[in-house]
Structure 1
Amino acid sequence: MVPVDLLVTGASGRLGPSLVQALHRDGDRLRQLSRRGTGPDAVRGDLATGADLPAALAGAEVVVHAASDPRNAWAVDVAGTRRLVQSVDRGRLQHLVYVSIVGVDRIPWSYYRAKYATEQVLLASGLPVTIVRVTQFHGFVDELLATARKGPVLPVPMGWRVQPVDVADAARYLAGVARQAPSGAIVDFGGPEELAVADLARMWAAAREPGAHVVSTPFPGRLSSALRDGAALPIGGERGQRSYADHLAA
């Protein structure tokens, strides 16, 4: 196969290491964008300010854009992606894959609104793009449940439905999309099974915190209503193989 010049943003995040591993192929040039530009295969570039972005993106034929900052999403995700669009080498770029989240168009939360706005920036950019919306990763679910536990009680929202996915499954799928021609479309990728949050919490408690007692609690508001109505569930698209139970058993 013809060698490709790849660049990954967000390589140090939750998805990044698995994504870099899945993308790696002998003969390719694979670079990882970071603010400091330190470490193997790293190049310096700052989405928040635009510093060094044109040099970092020079020659990139495939860009997998996974960088995100929930604490500063409008500056980093939205404005940062505009800077990336302005800096990319349009004469060389063959495909830009953006990693988004399932439900950004249906869940009324500020961070999700920013991710949705970022999608619109890319769709309007004229670049060869594919947007992949991914459900929540297993490890992130673990962290949320550990944070929610209050002593022996683990309160969870009543009726919420989710479909968490293994990070390595998502990375392999994204790497496959990156090697394909751009679709110009939005596609979903999720885990193998839909779960009620209460059932998921009971599985987690049994495996990790046997003393925790799961209590389903009604949560009011539009966000809760959206999650009860399945806004966090993928619509179509492919599915990962590794279940949340597999993750807990590992």
Structure 2
Amino acid sequence: MTTSPILVTGGTGTLGGHVVPLLRSCGHDVRILTRHPSTDGVDHVAGDLLTGEGVEAAVAGAATVLHLAGGPKRDDEATRTLVRAASRAGVRHLVYISVVGADRVPLAWMRTKLESERAVAESGIPWTALRAAQFHDLALTMVEKMAKLPVFPVPGGLRLQPVDSREVAARLAELTLGAPSGLVPDLVGPHLYDLAALARPYLRHSGRRRPMLPVRIPGKAGRAYRVGANLSPVGAGAEVGKRTWEEFLAERLG
């Protein structure tokens, strides 16, 4: 085992649940910063990135920090709290997971992702950042909610390239154990879908029928989605996952 643990924020979430076992299987000690510690055999430190409580203790002695924790609001504040503590603790590699389109889609939560990227890049700590497309898990949550409506809304021009969270986890583990690399190529799924194409296999699996209703996303965000600002730019050299939405659904829904 290495003497210096890898600190993982958000280690109990969807992505963390895949990354932490990968890091441990490579022989590394892992410490998880979480608001709700558990006793699953992994070192947990109670802390809150928004209040700063417990963060200094969590980063103490860690040479590498993998920052996965995120939410719908104040991600940038949480990241700045982590960066300050990591800088004081002498962390030598800070790894961050962001989202494709963070620099191009004018939504508040995307702006917090971009500001988090900037906080990491300007921290003075050697860093790596990966932008990933929406996970299959998130696409499923979205489709499930819309399928509860009597009519399934299909926002015109909205396209997604969902990627499997296990493939993102594998890439992050590789990056975390490698040398700091700055902003690396995006990671996206193998196929592009509009919302109707995502919905149809889900509706088939769940035995539901729903009429599709085209709707228009208003404002700047709508325009951004219609020109594909949430997609990895063509020619940018994105890495492409292998597991498709249909394969994910077949496994998840049986």
Structure-1-length-normalised TM-score: 0.90
Please tell me whether residue 210 in structure 1 is matched to residue 211 in structure 2.
no
Aligned equivalent of 1:240: 241
Q: Which amino acid aligns with 1:238?
A: E
Aligned equivalent of 1:62: 64
CA drift at 1:159: 1.8
Q: Structure 1: 5+ residue runs without aligned partners?
A: none
Q: Which amino acid aligns with 1:148?
A: M
Is the alpha carbon distance of 1:109 and 1:162 closer, same or farther for their aligned partners in structure 2, counting shifts above 3 Å?
same
Q: Structure 2: 5+ residue runs without aligned partners?
A: none
SS at structure 1 position matched to 2:22:
helix
Asked if the contact 1:162/1:233 (under 8 Å) is kept, the reply is: yes
Is the alpha carbon distance of 1:66 and 1:208 closer, same or farther for their aligned partners in structure 2, counting shifts above 3 Å?
same
CA drift at 1:23: 1.9
1:62-120 per-residue CA deviation (whole Å, 9 max, x = no partner) reads 211000121xx22xx21221121111166652321101111111111111111111111
Please tell me whether residue 188 in structure 1 is matched to residue 186 in structure 2.
yes
Q: Which amino acid aligns with 2:57?
A: A
Q: Describe how 1:146-225 pairs up with structure 2 within 5 A.
A: 146-149=144-147, 151-225=149-223
Asked if the contact 2:59/2:89 (under 8 Å) is kept, the reply is: no
Is the alpha carbon distance of 1:237 and 1:151 closer, same or farther for their aligned partners in structure 2, counting shifts above 3 Å?
closer
Residue range with higher mean Cα deviation, 31-40 or 177-186: 31-40
Equivalent pairs counted in the alignment come to 246
Please tell me whether residue 129 in structure 1 is matched to residue 131 in structure 2.
no
SS at structure 2 position matched to 1:67:
coil
Asked if the contact 1:138/1:165 (under 8 Å) is kept, the reply is: yes
Q: Which amino acid aligns with 1:81?
A: T
Q: Describe how 1:225-236 pairs up with structure 2 within 5 A.
A: 225-235=223-233, 236=237
Is the alpha carbon distance of 1:209 and 1:143 closer, same or farther for their aligned partners in structure 2, counting shifts above 3 Å?
farther
CA drift at 1:151: 4.0
SS at structure 2 position matched to 1:15:
helix
Mapped partners of 2:69, 2:110: distance in 1: 14
Mapped partners of 2:125, 2:103: distance in 1: 21
Q: Which amino acid aligns with 2:115?
A: A
Is the alpha carbon distance of 1:124 and 1:153 closer, same or farther for their aligned partners in structure 2, counting shifts above 3 Å?
same
Mapped partners of 1:241, 1:233: distance in 2: 17
CA drift at 1:2: 5.9
Aligned equivalent of 1:10: 10
Asked if the contact 1:60/1:89 (under 8 Å) is kept, the reply is: no
1:202-247 per-residue CA deviation (whole Å, 9 max, x = no partner) reads 2222222432223332333221221121112123321211000111
Is the alpha carbon distance of 1:196 and 1:47 closer, same or farther for their aligned partners in structure 2, counting shifts above 3 Å?
same
Aligned equivalent of 2:20: 20
SS at structure 2 position matched to 1:224:
helix
Mapped partners of 1:18, 1:243: distance in 2: 18
Mapped partners of 1:96, 1:203: distance in 2: 39
Asked if the contact 2:15/2:165 (under 8 Å) is kept, the reply is: yes
Is the alpha carbon distance of 1:147 and 1:91 closer, same or farther for their aligned partners in structure 2, counting shifts above 3 Å?
closer
C-alpha root-mean-square deviation of aligned residues, in Å?
Answer: 2.0
Structure-2-length-normalised TM-score: 0.89
Residue range with higher mean Cα deviation, 120-129 or 216-225: 216-225
Q: Describe how 1:139-150 pairs up with structure 2 within 5 A.
A: 139-149=137-147
Asked if the contact 1:109/1:223 (under 8 Å) is kept, the reply is: yes
